[in-house]
Structure 1
Amino acid sequence: MATINPHDFSKEIKMRNSNYIIFFLLMSQFILAQKPTIKKANELFANKAYVEAAKMYEKFKQNQDQSVLQNLGDCYYYNAQMKFAADNYGNLVFKYKDSVKPDYYFRYAHALKGIDDYEKGDKIMSDYLKYPVDTKKFKEHLNNIVPYNYKVNQMTRSNSTGDFGISFFGEKVVFASLRNAESPLYKWNEKPYLDLYEATVSTDGILENIKPFSEQINTKTHESNAVFTKDGKTMYFSRTSDEQVQVGDEKFASVKLFKAEFIENEWTNVTELPFSSNQFSTQHPALSADEKKLYFSSDRSESLGSFDLFYVDILEDGGFTEPQNLGNNINTIHREQFPFIADDGTLYFASDGLQGLGGLDIFMARSYDEVFAKPINLGETINTGMDDFAYVVKAEENLGYFASNRKGSDNLYSFIREENERRFIVEGDVRDKVTKELLPGTTVTLFDMDDKLIGQLVVGADADYVFNSEPNTKYKIVADRDFYASKEQIFETTDDGRVRFTIELEIESYDDAEEIIVTKDDGLVYIQLENIYFDLNKWDIKEEAARTLDVLVAIMNKYPRMVIELGAHTDSRASDAYNLRLSQDRAGAALEYLVSNGINRNRMRSKGYGERVPLIKCGDNCSEVEHSINRRCEFIILK
């Protein structure tokens, strides 16, 4: 057997220790090297260099860090790479479900629809909206109500590098494109900057004779979405600012509207419109048929959330009035962009906030006495699960163009449309009878007078319903929604093609809806729960009390408008002042428990009654059982 030399053994231990030290030093250097890389990725993301940021985030994706998954999903989403966006949002929602902000659910749902996973996309969107979404039924519904049938053709022989924002320009068209190979690359998508191009359109709808529009208009930054007066002498267009400004925590270059005039065969007098700003974007101009109004999209502070549609009046001296928001009949908390006004006054625009098929969908809203009706989705020939937008039409010829990234990059499409044969329509919306608020998620069903089902749908965010009908016929319409009393109306159609009315629902009384909610002889409405017990002279919430309060949390989540009082009562032992203070502490503890579990503090008030309102009036002669009955918490519904 070999003898171990103590000196050699000591050397081996030292060598091992040295190896460990080297290993840990290398690991420390790796970790230190990793942090700046993530920091650099975050800087790129903050500067909207999404392609480069995504490459860096991919290196740390396996760590499943929440901010990495969020930002990586956004990098792909903002560049319409929906498969990769959906993968990262899916990991995000799976691992961080309780802390993910609602906007990520919204984008995740749209990403899923962009890859035709409507079943899962509907589920995620239902979680976001808090009411059921069924795109399959919605498509069937659209097929019955869309006013036009479309024949659609791509306007280039192969997929473009990015064409959109087409407009009529005499016998030509003008559109925005990324096709300038000599342009520097835009860090958002690592593609060239947008310029305006003009072209003719062949009889089969193909772009021909394409050339840059004007050296006076195209610059080193983005130009897009031009619109022209009918005499061809004035144009309005979008241009990105060539400098970034700090707005809040971010630096960004805003988009502004410009005007130019055609004088002596060139575009000149290029001026920024006065309602543009470095602090927000103003883009996508559109002229009314009489050219007295200019419509546009903007994320200024007056918008409802993201981009909204606005308009200004064009004054005779060339000035403009203050921008006016088109209101929540058209706008949502999400994106409304790319307006176009047809010669018949109909507004066409793109939205991802109204119920659609995924991404931006194109909608139309007819004009009645200068008021726009409820928007109608143009249906699945025009719209897809990806972005469909920038629709323009010559209404008298029923031909036009739009853009879509349904094949990956932005492409232009031409269409010919024909009007569906005249339909008789029953339409309207559903509202709360008292507050007049819209009630999305309501199921609306149409029957004939023999109770035969004609149609059924769950209304979307605009709470709007539309059914086909027959003229001069009686129908029964029924609206059902959780926590509201069912409403039934009988009506008769006319021969003018359209019937519209609002269905108003009343909240079902709580004591009718829930067995544990009762109205007592004192006229107050109580939630009857197990009593909450506290240790002597204490007010901390014990495990048994928490279980009771969890039931109350569930009730208040079920009825989001419910307002309650938490009243605490003591027995008659100890002084009045002590008992009052103790009961106030106990009521306050119950309220704080509910707040910690997500109930808005404004929906509750706590009140300590001390010993003043006993259930059993036995004074100082109460038995232990009677004392325990008088010690209680009561939950009274105030609203």
Structure 2
Amino acid sequence: MYYRLLLMVFCFSHMTYSQESKLKKANKLFLERAYVKAASIYEEAANDKASFINLADCYYYNGLMEMASNTYVKASNYSGSEFSEDTNFRFAHALYGAYKVKMADSIMSMLHSKRINTEHFISALENGVPYVYDVKKIKSGSNPGDFGMNFFGEQVIFASSRENTSKHYTWNDKPYLDLFKGQLTEEASLINVSPLENSVNSSTHESNAALSKDGKTMYFSRTNAKRHEIEDKKIATVKLFKSTFDEGTWSEAEELPFCSDFYSTQHPALDEEHGRLYFSSDMPNGFGSFDIYYVNLTDGGFGKPVNLGEKINTKHREQFPFFSKENILYFSSNGHQGFGGLDIFMSEQNANNWDTPLNLGETLNSVTDDFSFVVDFEHNKGFLSSNRDGADNLYVFTREENTRTFIVEGTVKDKNSKELLPNTMITLFDENNTAIDSVKVSENGRYTFKTKPNTKYKVEGFKPLYIPKNVDFDTDDSGKIELNIELELESYDDAEEIIVEKEDGYVYIELENIYFDLDKWDIKTQAARTLDVLVNLMKKYPRMEVQLGAHTDNRSSVEYNLELSKNRAYSALDYLISKGIASSRLTAIGYGESQLLVDCGDNCTENEHAVNRRCEFIIVK
């Protein structure tokens, strides 16, 4: 019994030591980014939250989203600290890649502190994207793992590991990449494929080549042959190289001067019209993981890298820029809202900055990585790369203009109380100030319009007893396919001290009393000064409509007083019209002695008669 117990303790100790040894080795491989080999050990040895997170990350970094999402779920079942923000971000994208959209949306909503609804986002993009894409995988001549195809004169160029069997990349345990050229048939097949010269291809990765218009200069990415320690990890950075074509061959590639052993520069794209070279980099002082930059091309040299700013770049990945002849920047990102993984976006440069990036929609993008977009603007065809079928593959596309509508919606509130204002009339005007649609706001204070793209509009909110509010807007490719315009209307009585809402429910303009001589209705000098205040007020608010009510005291007969008050009311109205106020904005009523403020019968003092003998101004609209 003693020996059996001793044997059990020995076996358990050996198993524990073996397990710890395996995890130690897996962790070392993970830090070295040897994710395939690390995963094979974690699959046997993972036994806690941290090791299952690492295993999920290994799957994630190699595009195995179903396996990654399931493993993140397994890790979440272990007690302990919550997932970090970065882990939750990868978890959400793994869920998108596994078509578990609602769960992914809930995590992304938490990360962004706002509701993310991918289903609604996709629906909105259907109306807002400028093109509809027909995407097809290369039929033949391409291998899984090929990516980054670009125009190369009359040919195409792309990255492939097809002829490199001597050395494998630890990240995915696959051969290193070289640049290949070939011809693309009308049936989307690659033929006559051959590698570029050894002056371009090396013993490490080459990818993402961009060719100048004259075909004599090529920029491309190449991985460093040597690793350098960066934040306690040894990393082989990626650099940009340049080669020139002379006498039928490409020159020995030269490293660009702004590259470094301690950060990566990759994915070159030329904008020769503006003399720029765009690229992505994780150099210091950026906004996140990888940002997009440009350098100005000078005579024989390069300017300093310029970050495109926070409109384009996020704290996550912005990569694979392409600048088209239509002066639009296309790029891939997993930081802007998308469907999962890297999505392809577009942005136009405006006078001061870049427009908000616009996701190009589900006819182009998938729930996994979509990248290396290039387009022939004149013929509306191009290429992209994607791992939507489980591995990087080359795709071709054609595109057609989309019949688009932009949705404009919002709410209407009181500027001061912030309460909703149902029944407000919202009118949509075109750039010629012609009303083209109108809607009365519902009980929830909301309104909605459909508008055309690339058009100028104005929306106006109008409600009786409120100052109308106008907002101008454009429907362009600024990335805003759903425009939310919140209108806040201010009531007249909040805006002006002399305007008061009284207990009877009417809104009065409180002016000095207008005095008329006994049995007279002509406008005296003092009355004119009072009415001038009203003139200025109505000119300030051109939609205001006012009712003038004239009252008499109780001297004379009822019939006489009624006629006298009408004459006085119309006398004031005529004065306002003479000062430029449209008659359509005015009404005049004579009340006679029917609304005495002081009902003093036959014993009224002169002061009491004066109080009753008045002119009141009520805002009716």
TM-score, normalised via structure 2 length: 0.68
Matched, 1:87 2:76: no
Shift of 1:420: 2.1
Deviation at 1:497, TM superposition (A): 10
Equivalent of residue 239 in structure 2, options 244, 248, 256: 256
2: CA distance, partners of 1:31 / 1:467: 66
* Matches of 2:166 and 2:449, distance apart in 1: 48
Cα distance in 1 between the residues matched to 2:174 and 2:35: 12
Give, in whole Å, the separation in 1 of the partners of 2:449 and 2:15.
61
Q: Which residue of 2 aligns with 1:413?
A: 395
- For each residue in 1:536-576, what CA deviation from the matched residue of structure 2 results, as whole angstroms up to 9, or x when unmatched? xxxxxxxxxxxxxxxxxxxxxxxxxxxxxxxxxxxxxxxxx
Change in Cα spacing, 1:39 to 1:148, as seen in structure 2 (3 Å) is same
Deviation, 1:257, is 0.5
Amino acid at match of 2:291: D
Correspondence for 1:449: 438
Residue 34 (1) aligns with residue 23 (2): no
Matched, 1:209 2:192: yes
Determine the structure 1 residue equivalent to 2:324: 342
SS in 1 for 2:6: helix
Q: Which residue of 1 aligns with 2:310?
A: 328
Q: Report the AA paired with residue 227 of structure 1.
A: A
The corresponding residue for 1:398 is: 380
Query: What is the CA-CA distance between 1:38 and the residue it aligns to?
Result: 0.7
- Indicate the residue corresponding to 1:267 in structure 2: 250
Q: CA deviation at 1:376?
A: 0.7
Q: Distance in 2 between matches of 1:281 and 1:420?
A: 37
Instruction: Give the distance between the partners of 1:268 and 1:215, measured in 2 at CA.
Output: 10
Offset, 1:302: 2.1
Distance 2:41 2:323 in 1: 43
Aligned residue for 1:409, secondary structure, equals coil
Q: Show the counterpart of 2:37.
A: 52
Q: Which residue number corresponds to residue 582 of structure 1?
A: none
CA contact (8 A) 1:70 1:88 kept: yes
Task: Give SS of 1:200's match.
Answer: strand
Distance in 2, Cα, partners of 1:446 & 1:82: 48
Change (3 A) 1:467 1:292: farther
Secondary structure at 1:214 match in 2 = coil
1:452-497 deviation per Cα after TM superposition (whole angstroms, max 9, x unaligned): 78xx99xxxxxxx9974597876469xxxxxxxxxx9654678999
AA at the equivalent of 1:342? S
Which residue identity does 2:105 align to in structure 1? D
1:165 to 2:148 alignment: yes
1:296 equivalent in alignment to 2:279? yes
Q: Is the alpha carbon distance of 1:218 and 1:269 closer, same or farther for their aligned partners in structure 2, counting shifts above 3 Å? A: closer
| d(CA) in 1 for partners of 2:126, 2:80 | 36
What displacement does 1:409 show? 0.5
Residues of 2 paired with 1:449 and 1:55: CA distance? 64
Change (3 A) 1:181 1:275: closer
Hey, what does 1:355 align to over in structure 2? 337
Q: Note the C-alpha offset of 1:291.
A: 6.2
Q: Structure 1 309/249 Cα, relative in aligned 2: closer, same or farther at 3 Å?
A: same
Residue 152 of structure 1 and its aligned partner are, at CA, apart by 1.3
Which residue of structure 2 aligns with residue 193 of structure 1?
176
2:54 and 2:384 mapped to 1: Cα distance?
30
String of CA shifts for 1:22-52, please: whole Å, max 9, x gaps. 2212211221222121110011111111001
CA distance in 2 between partners of 1:282 and 1:387 (Å): 20
Q: CA separation of 1:196/1:291 partners in 2, compared to 1, >3 Å: closer, same or farther?
A: farther
- Cα distance 1:139–1:202, how it changes in 2: closer, same or farther (>3 A)? same
Match of 1:102 in 2: 85
Q: How many angstroms does 1:131 deviate by?
A: 1.6
In structure 2, the CA distance between the partners of 1:426 and 1:497, relative to structure 1 (3 Å rule), is farther
SS in 1 for 2:253: strand
d(CA) in 2 for partners of 1:87, 1:495: 42
| 8 A contact 2:320–2:371 mirrored in 1 | yes
Match of 2:264 in 1: 281
Q: Residue 19 in 1 paired to residue 4 in 2?
A: yes
Task: Report deviation, 1:204.
Answer: 2.3
Match of 2:297 among 311, 314, 318: 314
The 3 A distance-change label for structure 1 pair 24 and 347 is: same
Amino acid at match of 1:221: T
TM-score if structure 1 supplies the norm length? 0.66
Residues 1:165 and 1:473: Cα distance change in structure 2 (over 3 Å)? closer
Aligned residues: 455
Mapped to 2, the partners of 1:204 and 1:115 lie a distance apart of 31
DSSP 3-state at the match of 2:30 = helix
Preserved CA contact (<8 Å) 2:129 2:404: no
Q: 1:131-163 CA distances to partner (integer Å, 9 max, x unpaired)?
A: 211100000010010000111111133873211
Matched residues in 2 for 1:132 and 1:139: separation?
Answer: 14
Give the Å deviation of 1:503: 6.1
Query: CA–CA distance in 1 between the matches of 2:245 and 2:456?
Result: 55
Residue 359 of structure 2, aligned match among 365, 377, 383: 377
- Secondary structure of 1:413's partner? strand
Distance 1:476 1:112, change over 3 A: farther
Deviation at 1:266, TM superposition (A): 1.1
- Show the counterpart of 1:184: 167
Return the alpha-carbon distance in structure 2 between the equivalents of residues 329 and 84 of structure 1: 33
Matched residue SS, 1:310: strand
- Local SS of the residue matching 1:35: helix
Q: Given that residues 423 and 497 in structure 1 are in contact (C-alpha distance below 8 angstroms), is that contact kept between their aligned partners in structure 2?
A: no
Q: Please give the secondary structure, in 1, of the residue aligned with 2:63.
A: coil
> Compared with structure 1, are the counterparts of its residues 157 and 466 closer, same or farther at alpha carbon in structure 2 (3 Å cutoff)?
farther
Q: Counterpart of 1:550?
A: none
The reply to whether residue 389 of structure 1 matches residue 378 of structure 2 is: no
Deviation at 1:180, TM superposition (A): 2.2
Match for 1:449: what amino acid? S
Contiguous gaps of at least 5 residues in structure 2:
416-425, 429-436, 462-467, 489-621
Alpha carbons of structure 1 residues 426 and 502: separation in structure 2 relative to 1, 3 Å = closer
CA deviations 1:266-321 (Å, max 9, x no partner) are 111411111111111110000104261110000011211100000100111x2111
Q: How do 1:410-559 residues align onto structure 2 when only pairs under 5 Å count?
A: 410-421=392-403, 449-451=438-440, 468-469=451-452, 475=459, 490-491=470-471
Give a deviation string over 1:573-630, Cα, whole Å, max 9, x none.
xxxxxxxxxxxxxxxxxxxxxxxxxxxxxxxxxxxxxxxxxxxxxxxxxxxxxxxxxx
Structure index of larger Rg: 2
Deviation at 1:499, TM superposition (A): 12
What is the RMSD computed on CA atoms of the aligned residues?
3.2
Q: 1:92, 1:100 within 8 Å by CA — same for their partners in 2?
A: no
